[in-house]
Amino acid sequence: MKEILRAVPQPHASVSVADLRVDLNGAGIPIVDEVSFELAAGEILGLVGESGSGKTTVGMALLGHSRSGLRITGGSVCIGDKDVLRLSERELRAVRGKSITYVPQDPGTALNPALRIGTQLRESLKGQPATEADVLQLLSDVKLPTVPAFLAAFPHQVSGGQQQRVAIAMAFASRPAAVVLDEPTTGLDVTTQSHVLDTIRRLCAKHGVAAVYVTHDLAVVATLANRVAVMYSGRIVEIGPTSVVLTEPTHPYTRALIRAVPDLDGPILLQGIPGQAPAPTSRPKGCAFLPRCPMSIPACMAAPPSLARVAPYHDVRCIRSDVRVQAAVTAGRESASVERIGPPLLEIKALRAFHGSAEILKGIDLALAHGCSMALVGESGSGKTTLARCISGLHKKIDGLMYYDGQILAAGSRNRAVESRRQIQYIFQNPYASLNPRRSIGEAIAAPLREFESVSNEELRRRVGEVLDQVALSRRAAQQYPHHLSGGQRQRAAIARALIVNPTLLVCDEVTSALDVSIQAVIVELLDRLQQERGISMLFVTHNLPLIRSVAQQVAVMQSGRIVELGAVKDVLSRPKAAETTRLIQDAPHFRQA
């Protein structure tokens, strides 16, 4: 109850947004529309949405800014008693960086590479007189080294976590009334993320700053925000106290989103949201979520619903919010214990890999049974991707032995037998880069088949059609080019390209990390089905610990080039033995406990 009370807007709101609308330049098509909320001093609002939902556009608009191609066309954004959207250029400059500040997504590109950190920090004081001690105090606020030499350093000389702390120090330097944080922990590993979140929480409380935290990550919101606003297709569809929205989600989209997020305490089976969010130009006449909504009724088609109060401080944009749905409890599928007899499909002995003279893998021993799926987890730099690349023959500087189906697996795919090249297929992290933009999807999928078999064009077409069916892509996609497809569709096409040659092992390198969670869950469902139906073995590389429960039976935890723990997923997660595993479990944000 205390949580809720704290979330109640104060009479004198620090930030008050009303009917904000941002249009595509010149076309009168809203990217963001009807966005309203209020924030009190010290309060943190989590602005959650998937890509294209308009969350960053809203964040930018709070500073009276819109990216090129967009224009703020309506509503008001009041910081204190000033409406940011009705200020002159000069007045706006005085407000920005003073009353309302901004923390960027990627400090690596948002800090000026040509200016020293000290210069950039001092600038953020907006002309307030400051001694060196004052500036050093800013560093100490965010737990950065308080030495003049740090101020003299250039951004590229410090680590990513430190860069983000510098950006946070800059945002809080002028003691603003409000700060907009745009996914500031996206590029950081879980431990650094959890420290940065602590810092943000502490500074907001200490200085009574109202914060808008823009993110796609529900778990981060759960640990940080007092209130959460969920955005879909340019509108807020649900807003309320974090604890309420996350435990009793009322909008069908929020409910579906929560079911799609992997969580260590949630169900094992993830449920994706079929379809994809409509582009701003092709929104349906009624509710924007209608095409993907399981609860839609004809009335949903009539007009976009408006935000309605369902409980104190809890508003939902759905005409069916009165329909109470029992939270679908999907029974967790117990991961099949894999105790198969016979020689393993893949066996690795004392594998070492090098990059230049640096040793990336320092002696890996691993065995993967037929039909089994194994997750490789670890932080960035732990060597998990290198290991996957060694297995698929992309990383050639190695030492040690790899066996596949009893045969020695050479380093480098070109040195391998045709058969092992066919059987091991690799799926890349970024579906935007793994398909040749100048080749049609059909050609791309057919290319590996042509490498391994000589098939007639007719046979080729038939088999391309078959795999497209298997990954649930329309057969029409064969004639399309990658830029016609969404990220999730591209990843399916990449999976189809691997499937067409009937592989026995799929090496999946962070295949869902470039995708939205609702799409991630769909891909995970697809991979799971393939493993069940076709008995394909899988190696699933990921940094997302909660996800492994949904994709693998076994897990290898990696740290600085070594496997520190190896075992069945449920054993490792419930009784971790290695310190690294414990740390990863602790630092992974859990949102169901909020």
Partner 1 sequence: MATTSFRKAKRLLSLGIGTVGLVLALGVILLAIVGPFVAPHSPLDFAGAPYQPAGDGLLLGADSLGRDVFSRLLAGGSGILALAAVATIMGVLAGAIMGVAAGYLKGAFDELVMRVLDVAMAFPQTILALLFVSIVGPAPWLIALMVGVIHAPQVARVARSASLKVADADFVLFAETTGASSWKIMTREILPNIFDPLLVELGLRFTYSIALIAGLSFLGFGQQPPTPDWGLMINENRIGMAQNPWAVLAPIALIAVLTIGMNLFTDAVSRLTRARSAELNEAEPQSQALDLSSAGSAR
Partner 2 sequence: MDWYKDSVYARLVVRRAILGVLTLFLVSLVVFSATQLLPGDTARAVLGRSATPERLEALRAQLHLDDPAILQFARWAGGLLSGDPGISLVNGKPVAELIGPRISNSLVLLGLVGLFGIPPSILLGIYAALRRGRRSDSSVSVVALALAAAPEFVIAIGLILLFSTVVFQWLPPVSMIRPGMSILDRPDILVLPVLTLSLVCFPYIFRMMRASMIEVLESDYMEMAKLKGLSPARLVFLHGLPNAIAPTVQVIALTFAYLAGGVVVVEYVFAFPGIGQGLINAIATRDIPTIQCIVLALAGFYVAVNILADVIVVSVTPRLRARAWQKP
Binding footprint of partner 1 on the chain (CB under 8 A): 24-29, 51-52, 67-70, 279, 281, 392-394, 413-414, 416, 418, 421-422, 424-426, 428-430, 432-439, 444, 447-448, 451-452, 481-483, 486-487, 497, 501
Can you tell me which residue has the tokens 């021993």?
365
- The interface partner of residue 419, options being partner 1, partner 2, none and the CB cut-off 5 to 8 Å by kind, is none
Instruction: Work out the number of other CB atoms within 10 angstroms of the CB of residue 564.
Output: 17
Tell the smallest beta-carbon distance from residue 112 to partner 2 (Å): 4
- 211 lies in the binding site for partner 2 (CB under 8 A): no
Alpha helices in 270-401 (DSSP H): 384-392
**What is the nearest approach in angstroms of partner 2 to the Cβ of residue 203?**
17
Q: Does 25 bind partner 2 (CB under 8 A)?
A: no
Residue from 221, 206, 170 nearest 44 by CA: 221
Closest approach of partner 2 to the CB of residue 174, in Å: 9
Our finding on whether 63 is near partner 2 (CB under 8 A) is yes
Does residue number 147 form part of the binding site for partner 2 (CB under 8 A)? yes
Q: Does 143 bind partner 2 (CB under 8 A)?
A: no
- Taking CB under 8 A as the binding criterion, the range among 147-155, 350-358, 380-388, 491-499 that sits at the site for partner 2 is 147-155
Tell me the site size for partner 2, rule CB under 8 A: 38
Instruction: Give every strand in the sheet of 82-83, ordered side by side.
Output: 30-39, 15-24, 70-79, 82-83
Contacts of 66-69 with CB under 8 Å at 24 or more apart are 66/22, 69/24, 69/25
Which of 4, 36, 2 has its CA nearest to residue 19? 36
Residue 492 binds what, of partner 2, partner 1, none (CB under 5 to 8 Å, by partner type)? Answer: none
Question: How many Cβ atoms sit within 10 Å of the Cβ of residue 311?
Answer: 14
Which one, 80 or 304, has the nearer CB to partner 2? Answer: 80
Strands of 178-182's sheet in order across: 100-103, 178-182, 210-215, 44-48, 227-232, 235-241, 314-316, 308-311
The partner in contact with residue 112, picked from partner 2, partner 1, none with C-beta cut-offs of 5 to 8 angstroms by kind, is: partner 2
Determine if 358 is a binding residue for partner 2 (CB under 8 A). no
Q: Tally Cβ neighbours within 10 Å of residue 504.
A: 19
* Residue closest to 74 by CA, chosen among 28, 116, 22: 22
Q: Any idea of the CA torsion for 130, 131, 132, 133, to the nearest 10 degrees?
A: -100
Output the six-digit token pair for 401.
């032995």
- CB under 5 to 8 A by kind: which of partner 2, partner 1, none does 63 bind? partner 2
- CA 37 from centroid of its chain's CA atoms: 25
Binding residue for partner 2, selected from 18, 29, 41, 92, defined by CB under 8 A: 92
* Residues 432/438/439/440 CA torsion (nearest 10 deg): 80
Of 129-137, 154-162, 543-551, 584-592, the window that binds partner 2 (rule: CB under 8 A) is: 154-162
409: its two tokens: 């697996």
Task: Give the nearest distance from C-beta 338 to partner 2 in angstroms.
Answer: 44
476 binds, among partner 2, partner 1, none (CB under 5 to 8 A by kind): none
**Which residues make up the interface to partner 2 (CB under 8 A)?**
63, 65, 67-68, 92-98, 101-102, 104, 106, 109-116, 123-124, 126, 145, 147, 149-150, 152-154, 156-158, 167, 170
